[in-house]
């Protein structure tokens, strides 16, 4: 049964993959983004921060996969609130206004992460007050808002893919490769923290599964990963090898990294507040990042797989091979 | 009948308050773990017919409210200075249909404070009164602690028509004559101190809850102290201590003695739950009760103290399971021989006299002796009579801490001759654990060399002591004593052949306890006889054969098998001290046909073979059989042994302390099929051969979560827990009802804790320990097969597979030890980061390929793998998993700080 589906934030790697996958199987896909991306799909230019833009895009859609978000590590708090929390609110309200529809709210495991190691963890409830950093807090609020709207005519599934990567990824892969090439890539600690990641195709298939199974999965937040955690040092080195960059040679002890992160955050905060100084959009290290890189993050995928009737089809090794092919 | 009042006032006295008309009341709300709905005040006549207010906890009203019919009642009596609060978990966990009644004794808890102190006899009468008022229904079980024990037993003796069973926790009915009363109680009872300690100050009340191991949460201790906040309310605490009849002319003496003797007549099922680290009612009081209640099941928690159910809350689950099953009258005795087929071959545990004049024991050490079978049999009778003179009776336990040789052999057969029980522990357990093991067995007599007796003293092993040194005069003296008694008549003063029951206990042995403390394992005489027969039949051992006994447990069987035993010149407690020359000398001395030796002994024999002269080398060509058990024996080592003893088969029986042998195999004779044995037809693991005659092996298949099935199957290929049954499998775990129950489901089978499978030829393959199975999202992964495959990776010397993460979502981690390792092991493998524990990319990839289809999340490198204490050959995968978990956690700075704190220091328990 073909649906009309709106994909927001389709200019990113994951959004594009979701839109492509939906279109490939015959759904009627519309994508919404700020600037034209020249893709194969019907485009509705607009900004999720604008209620009118969102309403116009959502109108007539059976379902929305909402990916648009501000994912930066630093930046003014209100920017995150506007895009992540308000944007989601507009999407929910637009769906409700038109009498319903399915919503897949793309979230992140960081919405429930308070800094401790996650070892085979289930999906904990989102905690806007305790999550780390602007991104995680506003995404936590957004997820709560979306799940709160869950209703028979508006089934909502929150999907939290963890560290999505793949060919064409400007976030994780792009930054690692860029830093490695400049010789500025360092490992925090011994690089042994066990880390779950998600190959992009698997994440996209999980989104589509969530859309299809919204009748059973609605009202839940589901963490999605490859289910193959690896030591972070090994993953980074593997990604470097795949993209032809030198593997990391520097090591920063965890406490030092944490201290450096704190210092960097201070500098960024000053830069943001003092007029005339250039804003720093991609700081080399923050406390959040130091913590993320030195504590285990992996999840119990049994519930997700059962509810979604989905399993990752591309293994980490296969994913790395595809990354190498396309780099 | 019962007059149930609403919430009554609690009178609180001032500092000078004298306890007189203090009425019963209810505990203030908010005591942790206490449900206010259980609490009420009930009036009942006391021993003298005076109506008193009792505070009771009673689930009866709640059952009535829910419309549940009462199927049985559990009557709980606390001791001094606690109150019914002690039983809160018992009430909370009561199964449907069980009414639990826990009273506060008069003067105690929140019950009335009578003006005059109560005696034991009165307290029993008092309990009668309140149980009448409460109208107990159905069969009644009693549960008691501390001085509540005699009170509850006094009640039990009067209500035998409805008494269904008794449960006692750390209590006493009798002060053993040969020992002093508990020092703490004696101190508290010093007249000058008593009032000060028990009444004027809360010292005794607070000290009791301070005994808990680990410490109780503060709120719980406050809960225990709540009824005893003022000296007026503590009067009965002091009175109770005064009422302990240490003196012969004490008013309560007669009552206690009546109860102590009456207990012997109770034939109802009994459970004793004990914390032996109790400074008041320690080990010897448990022994006293076991003697009075021989039918009792025992659940002993080695590290628990006086408040045993506080220290080990899981004891409450155990006692409920026991109560439910006892009530269910299924009366399943959790003995491994239940449902086991009787009959089958047996060989009695006594000295075989087929060849009376041949040597039975030949000691090769300097000054060693040679004893013939006839001499041995005579010495056994004499020593047995000597032991009888020292008060040893059938069923008594005698710990033997004497090195192998003529003395130990004589003692073992003498103890059996008496119908008593040998307790054999091995120094390989480590000294501290050896002491703990012996303490748990509670021997009546400890026979040992001076060093062993010193150890027994420092580790507080109970029982009398008897020193026996190898070659010393002590045993001869004991024999002389016995010989006088026997006055030349055969068997005089000793039980006849049919006087000792077959199912009487025969021996207590100990597991190595690679994980946790050593566990006592009890064999009946019949099971020992069956084991002898299995050994004889499996290995074709015949009277007249000669055996070199370098492996303690089996070596003791020589005389019963009619085999001459040569004890080589070595430190038998350290198997690694057997040299090739010492072995050859022993073989030559008796023209040995069989050698029993531990793997570590064989390793040293091979290592010292260079020094053999021609004569000795020739002697080693004699033996037809080498038996080695106790730990896995590498094939390469066995092949070396065969080069040294060219005529010998090398059998490696598989089994455990609880069941030996289960299967056996000579790995060196598999020849061309060797690849089959090592590779396992693609499935891996260790082939241990086909089950020996008389042993049934079943596999309890693992489900998706790695939990073994309840019933065993025998289809080839099913991977699961290995279950065995046979006439020579253990009777039970000693004084550990819960473990025994778990180990013998279904009844008659013993759960080995190993996992493995049967192949098409009926051979058994071991794939690891059940506890080490990795329980992942895609089903269980057994360690050995993956390890086999990974060991084939170039550059890897050895490997271990462990799981990290929560059960059901665990990830497989492979820890490898590189073949080349020196100062910087990882660098030799080409690791990019100095000292890294992550395997370099190439190795990690190769290990993953080898492990496929099992997914591996991380490959870590170590210089060595932790191994067990006793055999130094079993990888301690539990410790390794902890290590891997720590490494892969990557800890936050705060977490690192926490790890620096002393191990296990601030641990809070849940209530």
3-class secondary structure for A195-247? ECCEEHHHHHHHHHHHHHCHHHHCCCEEEECCCCCEEHHHHHHHHHHHHCCCC
Look at A119 and B841 and tell me if their CB atoms are within 8 Å.
no
Confidence category of residue B377, pLDDT binned at 50, 70, 90: very high
Say if residues A120 and A300 touch (Cβ distance below 8 Å).
yes
Cα distance between residue A57 and residue A53, in whole Å: 6
Tokens 């009202």 belong to A219
Look at A298 and B805 and tell me if their CB atoms are within 8 Å.
yes
Cα distance between residue B432 and residue B430, in whole Å: 6
Cα distance between residue B370 and residue B674, in whole Å: 43
Cα distance between residue A243 and residue B109, in whole Å: 75
pLDDT one-digit tens code per residue, B188-198: 777 777 887 88
pLDDT tens over chain A, length 327 residues: 678 999 999 888 999 999 999 999 999 999 998 888 777 899 999 999 999 999 999 999 999 999 999 887 778 888 999 999 999 999 999 999 999 999 999 999 988 887 778 888 888 888 888 888 889 999 999 999 999 999 999 999 999 999 999 998 888 888 888 888 888 777 777 788 899 999 999 999 999 999 999 999 999 999 999 999 999 989 999 999 999 988 887 777 767 777 777 777 777 777 766 766 666 666 666 776 777 777 888 999 999 999 999 999 999 999 999 999 987
Q: What percent of chain B has pLDDT over 70?
A: 87
Look at A294 and B892 and tell me if their CB atoms are within 8 Å.
yes
Q: Name the least confident of A82-96, B65-79, B836-850.
A: B836-850
Is the CA virtual torsion B685, B686, B691, B697 positive or negative?
negative
Confidence category of residue B336, pLDDT binned at 50, 70, 90: low
Query: Is the CB of residue B710 less than 8 Å away from at least one CB of chain A?
Result: no
Q: Which of A123, A190, A231, A307 has the highest number of chain B CBs within 10 A, making it the mutation to test binding with B?
A: A231
pLDDT one-digit tens code per residue, B203-253: 888 888 888 888 899 999 999 999 999 888 888 888 888 888 877 778 888
In order of B189, B314, B391, B469, the CA distances from B279 in angstroms are 15, 22, 27, 33
β-bridge partners, B273: B169, B299
pTM, full prediction = 0.82
Confidence category of residue B363, pLDDT binned at 50, 70, 90: very high
Q: Name the least confident of B411-425, B492-506, B519-533.
A: B492-506
Cα distance between residue B700 and residue B712, in whole Å: 4
- ipTM for the predicted complex comes to 0.89
- State the CATH class of domain B540-652: alpha beta
pLDDT at A1: 60
Query: Is the CB of residue B893 less than 8 Å away from at least one CB of chain A?
Result: yes
Fold of B372-500: Rossmann fold (3.40.50)
pLDDT of B476 above 60: yes
Q: Which of A115, A125, A309, A287 is nearest to A210 (CA)?
A: A309
Cα distance between residue A132 and residue B696, in whole Å: 59
Q: Which of A120, A193, A290, A292 has the highest number of chain B CBs within 10 A, making it the mutation to test binding with B?
A: A120
Q: Which residues in chain A are closer than 8 Å to B891, comparing Cβ atoms?
A: 117, 254, 294-295
Domain layout of chain B by residue ranges: 27-332, 372-500, 540-652, 780-900
Look at A301 and B888 and tell me if their CB atoms are within 8 Å.
no
- Structure token pair of residue B86: 């002690």
| Yes or no: domain B780-900 corresponds to CATH 3.30.300.30 | yes
pLDDT at B894: 47
How far apart are the two ends of chain A, measured CA to CA in Å? Answer: 37
pLDDT at A206: 97
Enzyme catalytic residues of A: 135
CB pairs under 8 A between A and B: 109
pLDDT at B616: 93
Name the CATH superfamily, with its identifier, for domain B27-332.
Answer: Alpha/Beta hydrolase fold, catalytic domain (3.40.50.1820)
- Residues with Cβ within 8 Å of B764's Cβ and at least 6 positions away in sequence, in order, are B654, B662, B663, B687, B688, B689, B690, B691, B697, B722, B756, B757, B758
Distance, in angstroms, between A278 CA and closest chain B CA? 32
Q: Do domains B540-652 and B780-900 have the same CATH topology?
A: no
Q: Which of A242, A264, A261, A243 is nearest to A252 (CA)?
A: A261
Cα distance between residue B582 and residue A72, in whole Å: 76
| B777, B833, B858 member nearest A194 (Cβ) | B858
Residue ranges in B19-167 assigned as alpha helix (H): 60-66, 88-92, 120-134, 148-158
Q: Which of A260, A233, A292 is nearest to B892 (CA)?
A: A292
Beta strand A186-188 with A156-161: parallel, antiparallel or unpaired? unpaired
Cα distance between residue B650 and residue B77, in whole Å: 60
In order of A180, A237, B84, B268, B631, the CA distances from A230 in angstroms are 20, 11, 53, 59, 34
Q: Which of B842, B890, B900 has the highest number of chain A CBs within 10 A, making it the mutation to test binding with A?
A: B890
Residue-averaged pLDDT of chain B: 85
pLDDT at B404: 87
Q: What percent of chain B has pLDDT over 90?
A: 52
**Cα angle, residue A220 at apex, residues A217 and A226 outer, rounded to 5°:** 80
Q: Which residues in chain B are closer than 8 Å to A229, comparing Cβ atoms?
A: 811, 857-858
pLDDT one-digit tens code per residue, B572-598: 677 788 999 999 999 999 999 999 988
Beta strand ranges found along B149-296 (DSSP E):
163-169, 270-274
Higher pLDDT, B637 or B88: B88
Is the CA virtual torsion A257, A262, A263, A267 positive or negative?
positive
Look at B838 and A191 and tell me if their CB atoms are within 8 Å.
yes
Query: Is the CB of residue B705 less than 8 Å away from at least one CB of chain A?
Result: no
pLDDT at B490: 55
Say if residues B630 and B654 touch (Cβ distance below 8 Å).
no
Q: Name the least confident of B301-310, B625-634, B705-714.
A: B625-634
| B777, B838, B896 member nearest A227 (Cβ) | B777
β-bridge partners, A160: A223
Query: Is the CB of residue A259 less than 8 Å away from at least one CB of chain B?
Result: no
Distance, in angstroms, between B834 CA and closest chain A CA? 10
Look at B809 and A317 and tell me if their CB atoms are within 8 Å.
no
Look at A231 and B858 and tell me if their CB atoms are within 8 Å.
yes
User: What residue ranges define each of the domains in chain A, with the CATH number in brackets?
Assistant: 4-164+199-227+297-314 (3.40.50.720)
Say if residues B754 and B736 touch (Cβ distance below 8 Å).
no
Interface of B with A in 804-863 (CB under 8 A): 804-806, 808-811, 832-833, 836-838, 841, 844, 848, 855, 857-858, 860
Cα distance between residue B818 and residue B861, in whole Å: 7
């Amino acid at each position: 049964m073909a649906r009309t589906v709106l994909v927001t934030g389709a200019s990113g790697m994951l959004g594009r993959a979701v839109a492509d996958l939906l279109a490939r199987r015959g759904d009627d896909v519309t994508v919404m983004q700020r600037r034209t991306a020249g893709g194969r799909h019907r485009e509705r230019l607009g900004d999720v921060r604008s209620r009118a833009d969102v309403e116009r895009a959502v109108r007539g859609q059976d379902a929305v996969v909402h990916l648009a978000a501000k994912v930066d590590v630093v930046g003014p708090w209100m920017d995150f609130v506007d895009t992540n929390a308000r944007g989601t609110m507009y999407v929910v309200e637009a769906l409700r206004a038109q009498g319903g529809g399915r919503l897949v709210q793309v979230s992140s495991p960081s919405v429930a992460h308070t800094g401790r190691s996650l070892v085979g963890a289930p999906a904990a409830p989102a905690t806007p007050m305790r999550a780390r950093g602007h991104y995680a807090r506003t995404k936590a609020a957004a997820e709560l808002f979306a799940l709160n709207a869950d209703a028979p005519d508006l089934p909502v599934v929150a999907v939290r893919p963890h560290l999505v990567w793949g060919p064409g990824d400007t976030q994780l892969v792009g930054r690692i490769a860029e830093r490695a090439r400049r010789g500025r890539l360092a490992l925090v600690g011994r690089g042994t923290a066990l880390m779950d990641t998600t190959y992009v195709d698997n994440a996209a298939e999980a989104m589509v599964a969530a859309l299809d199974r919204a009748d059973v999965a609605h009202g839940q937040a589901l963490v999605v990963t490859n289910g193959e955690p690896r030591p972070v040092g090994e993953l980074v080195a593997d990604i470097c090898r795949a993209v032809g960059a030198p593997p990391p040679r520097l090591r920063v002890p965890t406490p030092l990294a944490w201290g450096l992160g704190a210092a960097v955050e201070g500098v960024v905060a000053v830069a943001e507040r003092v007029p005339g100084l250039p804003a720093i959009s991609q700081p080399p290290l923050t406390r959040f990042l130091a913590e993320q890189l030195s504590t285990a993050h992996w999840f119990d995928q049994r519930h997700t797989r059962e509810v979604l009737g989905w399993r990752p089809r591309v293994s980490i090794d296969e994913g790395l091979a595809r990354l190498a092919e396309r780099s | 009948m019962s007059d149930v009042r609403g919430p009554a006032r609690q009178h609180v006295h001032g500092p000078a308050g004298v306890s007189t008309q203090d009425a019963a009341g209810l505990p203030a709300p908010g005591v942790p773990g206490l449900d206010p709905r259980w609490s009420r005040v009930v009036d009942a006549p006391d021993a003298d017919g005076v109506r008193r207010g009792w505070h009771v906890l009673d689930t009866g009203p709640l059952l009535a409210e829910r419309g549940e019919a009462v199927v049985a009642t559990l009557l709980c009596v606390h001791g001094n200075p606690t109150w019914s609060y002690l039983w809160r978990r018992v009430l909370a966990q009561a199964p449907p249909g069980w009414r639990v009644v826990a009273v506060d004794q008069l003067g105690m808890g929140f019950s009335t404070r009578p003006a005059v102190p109560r005696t034991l006899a009165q307290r029993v009468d008092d309990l009668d009164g309140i149980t009448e008022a409460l109208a107990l229904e159905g069969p009644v079980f009693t549960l008691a602690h501390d001085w509540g024990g005699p009170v509850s037993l006094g009640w039990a003796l009067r209500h035998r028509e409805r008494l269904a069973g008794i449960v006692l926790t750390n209590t006493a009915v009798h002060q053993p004559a040969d020992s002093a009363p508990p020092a703490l109680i004696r101190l508290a009872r010093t007249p000058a101190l008593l009032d000060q300690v028990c009444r004027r100050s809360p010292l005794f009340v607070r000290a009791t809850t301070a005994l808990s191991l680990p410490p109780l949460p503060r709120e719980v201790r406050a809960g225990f102290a709540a009824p005893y906040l003022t000296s007026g309310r503590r009067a009965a605490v002091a009175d109770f201590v005064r009422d302990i009849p240490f003196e012969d002319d004490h008013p309560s003496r007669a009552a206690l003695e009546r109860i102590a003797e009456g207990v012997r007549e109770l034939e109802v099922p009994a459970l004793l739950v004990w914390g032996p680290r109790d400074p008041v009612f320690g080990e010897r009081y448990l022994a006293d009760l076991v003697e009075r209640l021989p039918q009792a099941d025992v659940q002993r928690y080695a590290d628990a103290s006086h408040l045993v159910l506080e220290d080990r809350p899981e004891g409450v689950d155990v006692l409920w399971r026991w109560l439910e099953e006892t009530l269910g009258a299924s009366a399943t005795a959790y003995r491994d021989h239940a449902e086991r087929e009787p009959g089958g071959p047996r060989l009695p545990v006594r000295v075989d006299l087929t060849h009376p004049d041949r040597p039975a024991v030949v000691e090769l050490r300097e000054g060693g002796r040679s004893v013939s079978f006839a001499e041995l049999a005579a010495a056994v009778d004499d020593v047995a009579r000597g032991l009888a003179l020292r008060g040893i009776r059938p069923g008594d336990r005698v710990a033997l801490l004497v090195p192998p040789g003529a003395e130990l052999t004589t003692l073992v057969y003498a103890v059996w001759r008496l119908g008593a029980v040998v307790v054999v522990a091995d120094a390989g357990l480590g000294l501290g654990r050896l002491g703990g093991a012996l303490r748990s067995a509670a021997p009546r007599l400890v026979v040992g060399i001076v060093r062993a007796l010193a150890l027994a003293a420092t580790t507080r092993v109970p029982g009398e002591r008897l020193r026996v040194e190898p070659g010393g005069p002590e045993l001869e003296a004991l024999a002389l004593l016995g010989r006088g008694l026997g006055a030349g008549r055969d068997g005089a003063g000793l039980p006849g052949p049919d006087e000792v029951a077959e199912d009487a206990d025969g021996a207590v042995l100990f597991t190595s306890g690679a994980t946790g403390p050593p566990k006592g394992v009890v064999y009946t005489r019949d099971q020992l006889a069956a084991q002898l027969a299995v050994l004889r039949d499996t290995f074709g051992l015949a009277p007249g054969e000669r055996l070199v006994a370098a492996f303690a447990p089996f070596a003791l069987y020589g005389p019963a098998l009619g085999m001459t035993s040569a004890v080589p010149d070595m430190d038998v407690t350290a198997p690694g001290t057997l040299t090739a020359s010492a072995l050859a000398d022993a073989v030559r001395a008796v023209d040995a046909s069989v050698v029993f030796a531990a793997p570590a002994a064989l390793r040293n024999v091979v290592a010292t073979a260079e020094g053999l002269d021609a004569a000795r080398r020739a002697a080693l060509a004699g033996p037809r059989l080498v038996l080695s058990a106790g730990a896995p024996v590498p094939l390469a080592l066995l092949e070396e042994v065969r080069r040294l003893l060219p005529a010998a088969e090398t059998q490696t029986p598989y089994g455990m302390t609880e069941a030996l042998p289960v299967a056996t195999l000579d790995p060196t004779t598999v020849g061309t099929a060797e690849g089959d044995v090592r590779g396992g037809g693609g499935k891996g693991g260790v082939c241990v051969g086909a089950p020996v005659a008389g042993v049934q092996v079943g596999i309890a298949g693992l489900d998706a979560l790695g939990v073994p099935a309840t019933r065993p199957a025998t289809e080839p290929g099913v991977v699961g827990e290995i279950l065995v049954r046979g006439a020579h499998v253990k009777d039970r775990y000693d004084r550990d009802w819960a473990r025994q129950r778990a180990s013998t489901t279904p009844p008659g089978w013993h759960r080995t804790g190993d996992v493995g499978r049967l192949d098409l030829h009926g051979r058994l393959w071991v794939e690891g320990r059940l506890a080490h199975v990795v329980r992942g999202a895609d089903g269980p992964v057994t360690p050995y097969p993956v390890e086999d495959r990974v060991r084939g990776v170039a550059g890897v010397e050895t490997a271990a597979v462990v799981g990290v993460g929560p059960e059901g979502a665990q990830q497989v981690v492979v820890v490898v030890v590189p073949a080349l390792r020196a100062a910087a092991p990882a660098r030799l493998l080409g690791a990019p980061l100095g000292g890294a524990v992550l395997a370099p990319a190439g190795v990690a990839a190769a290990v993953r390929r080898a492990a496929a289809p099992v997914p591996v999340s991380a490959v870590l490198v170590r210089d060595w793998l932790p191994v067990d204490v006793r055999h130094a050959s079993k990888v301690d995968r539990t410790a390794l998993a902890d290590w891997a978990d720590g490494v892969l956690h990557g800890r936050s700075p705060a977490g690192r700080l926490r790890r620096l704190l002393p191990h296990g220091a601030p641990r809070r328990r849940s209530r």
